[in-house]
Amino acid sequence: MTLSALPLQDAILQTLTYSDIFDYPLTAPEIHRYLIGIPTNLETIRETLTNVQTTRQIAQTGEYFTLPGRECLHEIRARRADHSARLWPQALHYGRRLAGFPFVRMVAITGTLAVNNVEHSADVDYFIVTHPGRLWLCRALIIGLVRVAARAGIVLCPNFFLSENALALPDRSLYIAREMTQMIPVAGLEMYQRLRQANRWVLDYLPNADGPPPVKIPPTPANPPSKRALETILATAPGTALERWEMNRKIRKFTAQAPPSNEIRFSAERCQGHFDGYGKRTLEAFEARVGGRRAQVEMRNSDELGNL
């Protein structure tokens, strides 16, 4: 997507269109936070929503706004919110356990759970920032907890590891901006703030989404004293050798599964294994829907001119 100066009404419609891909209606405050491309305030959003409704370009059911014909989404959101509420205690429990692992500096919940939009038996996605030079060793230790949780029927997906000396993401898109602004830090708030500061470009896409979402989850420290001893042991020459061995074997394995792309990157400072290409497919669907709506508007305007 190429950002340009959008009228506020069009920005609202694009924001609803993006969320519609996920069958996710938005409240006015959510439209404000995730509004594409335009810095504004909530009061202006509410006024514009009232005006746009008169043109029948959006629909409202209770507190939720959708595209026309998608009013049923409020029922889907309610059902998914119920599933999410049952999953959150487990997600927080394991997230805080992850924070206690050696070399973990931040843990954040991402994906559908971050916006309470999960279906039954969903997994829990985590974004993890690690100490430099120990990303792969840290990941190997965490996979042990993933397997323990799996025996209890909980699917943990720590699918994005980033070293704290490589916080600036080179891949910039609306999808990544939305994921970044939706993530909920559960440990390491200071590191989360550093991550957001290193990626200020996100505000070019979503200028009203500064800071974490307004969710009442007090983050826990990501570096408790209890893990310092193990870090000291592993911050040695044998630990460095283990890190190199684990990194090399995993990178060989993962790159054999799929070629590198914007969603699949493996290095000493990054382990991003989004093999399903979901971000690319989401952006393609968004562009197609925006293009389709634009074509409909142009056709309608042409018909109106022809009737003059």
Lowest-pLDDT choice from 150-164, 213-227, 265-279 = 213-227
Q: For residue range 18-38, what is the model confidence (pLDDT) as tens digits?
A: 999 999 999 999 999 999 999
pTM over 0.85: yes
Split at pLDDT 50, 70, 90, the class of 299 is low
User: Burial code of 130-161, b = ≥16 C-beta within 10 A, e = fewer?
Assistant: bbebbbbbbbbbbeebbeebeeeebebebbbb
Which residue's entry shows tokens 């042991």?
233
Split at pLDDT 50, 70, 90, the class of 4 is very low
Q: For residue range 191-206, what is the model confidence (pLDDT) as tens digits?
A: 999 999 999 999 999 9
Average pLDDT along the chain: 90
Q: For residue range 30-65, what is the model confidence (pLDDT) as tens digits?
A: 999 999 999 999 999 999 999 887 778 999 999 999
Q: What was the pLDDT predicted at 222?
A: 66
165 residue type, one letter: N
* DSSP secondary structure code for residue 51 in this structure: H
- Coil, strand, or helix at residue 297? helix
Q: For residue range 126-156, what is the model confidence (pLDDT) as tens digits?
A: 999 999 999 999 999 999 999 999 999 999 9
CA–CA gap between residue 219 and residue 48 (Å, rounded):
35
Please provide the distance, in angstroms rounded to a whole number, between the alpha carbons at the two ends of the chain. Answer: 35
10 sits in the region (left: phi over 0; alpha: psi -120 to 50; else beta) called alpha
Burial class (CB in 10 A: 0-12, 13-18, 19+), 86: exposed
* All domains in the chain, ordered by first residue: 8-71+281-306 (1.10.10.10), 77-275 (no CATH)
